[in-house]
Amino acid sequence: MTPADPSASAQPPATASFVVVANRLPVDRVEHPDGSVDWRTSPGGLVTAFEPVMRRHDGAWVGWHGAPDEEVAPFENDGLQLVPVPLSASEVEEYYEGFSNTTLWPLYHDVIAAPEFHREWWDAYVVVNQRFADATAAVAEQGAVVWVQDYQLQLVPAMLRRQRPDLRIGFFLHIPFPPTELYQQLPWRNQILEGLLGADLVGFQVSGGAQNFLRLVRARLRQETHRDEIRAADGRTVVARSYPISIDTAGLAELAAAPATAERAAEIRRDLGDPKVLFLGVDRLDYTKGLLARLRAFGELIDDGALELDEVAFVQVATPSRERVDEYRQLRDDMDRLVGRINGDIGRIGRPPITYLHSSYPREEMAALYRAADVMVVTPLRDGMNLVAKEYVACRQADDGALVLSEFAGAAKELRQAYLVNPYDINGMKDRLVEAMDDSPRNKARRMRVMRRQVAEHDIDHWATTFLDDLAQAQPTAD
């Protein structure tokens, strides 16, 4: 691997009392016209959640910097200590695109796509997880708190525990954890469970994920459990509990309230021909998001005459994702064909029913889209949480708007006042879309008022604080 100068203050890794471990560092590389390189903090909830606690504790973040076959020395960026973990091009292909996203991702999302099981992908996953554990062990000071993030790093807790039994280790899974019948397809099922049991606290988005984990630990590893506690083989007590992740509610609400955002929202509606009702979908382009069924339902409503073409519009933002993985390239082609067919069959000049945007946009533009939309359509086939639903609620400036939400999104457990729908039932989805559009202002206001309160009181800071407070209560490692 070749070395790279991050053009930031390179320094030997200092130890830290709080360490976040994630597949990616919270920065993106920026290359300037003069050839110099800089780093920009990535947008996203995790950075927002961890930044205050990292600054209080001189924390460190361990993760890959995003370029293969390149070594980057530890460096500081905007006051945060960053510890890059290198990956080769073959490891990106086998550990990340392969095992993480073609084995674990579909398996954990109810096998919507068939997972693939390849031994060489598993071998790469083990090697990379060990590299992350080694880097973390080197940077964590005695008795530090380490918080490992997500499905790419499920072996790290146990690997780290073996090297550093003094550490207090938490793990959080951002995606669903599957039921026994699906999980047991995994050839390396016991190794993953044992890896997670290296943590003192294992967090899941919803209680069902925690219960699935506890059930598997009992059945496969014969570990004793009581309520949300597991008696590990080394005598430790491991806690498995749900911690629904959230957003920077106040920050997003403030952005949505800005006059410039209001002006942009009005401009968006004008550009769409001032529809009476604007429907909006915002997703990564992923087969778990239910995009095809959603757009098909909307197209049928116009074709049936239930919606008037001159009165409605649907904007679908589909952020590019994992475009080197076959299933994602196929989905992009399927989306292009479906949108083209619907617009060609029922649209007319100047009035396409669907505006499809295969791109990513800054927070300011997303806040304007949320403000502009009358009906937000969030219909994943399976989702750990889905923060888009919460973002829409946070951006409403009054108790208006309607959220159509899949029963199979983790957010449905909290946003119970949404118009809940089974995304596999296209006729049912059509009914819910019309209901959300036609419901009385009073009913919409009642629903939105409760959801806004929920999102305001349970924001990203509440999520991080609750998890870390519980981790602080974890038992020290048994002698």
Q: Is residue 58 among the annotated active site residues?
A: no
SS3 20: strand
Residue 191 CB neighbour total at 10 angstroms = 16
- What is the distance between the alpha carbons of residues 163 and 141, in angstroms, rounded to a whole number? 13
Q: pLDDT tier at 3 (50, 70, 90 boundaries)?
A: low
Instruction: Work out the angle at residue 205's Cα, subtended by the Cα atoms of residues 171 and 470, and round it to the nearest 5 degrees.
Output: 50
Q: What pLDDT does residue 245 have?
A: 95
Q: Is the pLDDT of residue 55 over 90?
A: no
Q: Cα 81–254–286 angle (5° rounding)?
A: 65
Which residues, including other chains, have CB under 8 Å from residue 41's CB and lie 6 or more apart? Answer: 26, 27, 47, 77, 78
- Per-residue pLDDT tens for 303-352? 999 999 999 999 999 998 887 778 888 999 999 999 999 999 999 998 99
Report CA Rg, the chain.
23
Domains of the chain in start order, with CATH, are 2-245+462-472 (3.40.50.2000), 249-457 (3.40.50.2000)
β strands within 326-371, DSSP E: 354-357
Q: Give the relative orientation of helices 460-472 and 45-56 as an angle to the nearest 10 degrees.
A: 50
Of 174, 248, 283, 286, the catalytic one is: 174
pLDDT reported for residue 78: 82
Distance CA 321, CA 334 (A): 15
The three-state secondary structure class of 109 is: coil
3-state secondary structure of 454: helix
Q: Does the annotation mark 78 as catalytic? A: no
DSSP line for 271-313: HTT--SEEEEEEEES-GGG-HHHHHHHHHHHHHHTSS-TTTEE
* Catalytic-role residue among 286, 383, 458, 459: 383
Of the candidates 407, 372, 362, the one whose C-alpha atom is nearest the C-alpha of residue 386 is: 407
Query: Quick one: tokens of 292?
Result: 């095809």
Opening angle at CA 69, ends 75 and 191, nearest 5:
90
> Cβ neighbours of residue 33 under 8 Å, at least 6 residues apart?
none
Predicted TM-score (pTM) of the model is: 0.94
Structure tokens at 441: 């202002």
Cβ distance 311 to 276 under 8 Å? yes
**Residue with structure tokens 């090297």?**
163
Over pLDDT 90: what percentage of the chain?
Answer: 85
The mean pLDDT value of the chain amounts to: 93
Rounded Cα distance between 190 and 331, Å, is 32
pLDDT tens-digit series, residues 240-294: 999 999 999 999 999 999 999 999 999 999 999 999 999 999 999 999 999 999 9
What H or E segment, with its residue span, contains residue 415? none
- The structure tokens listed for 79 are 């006051």
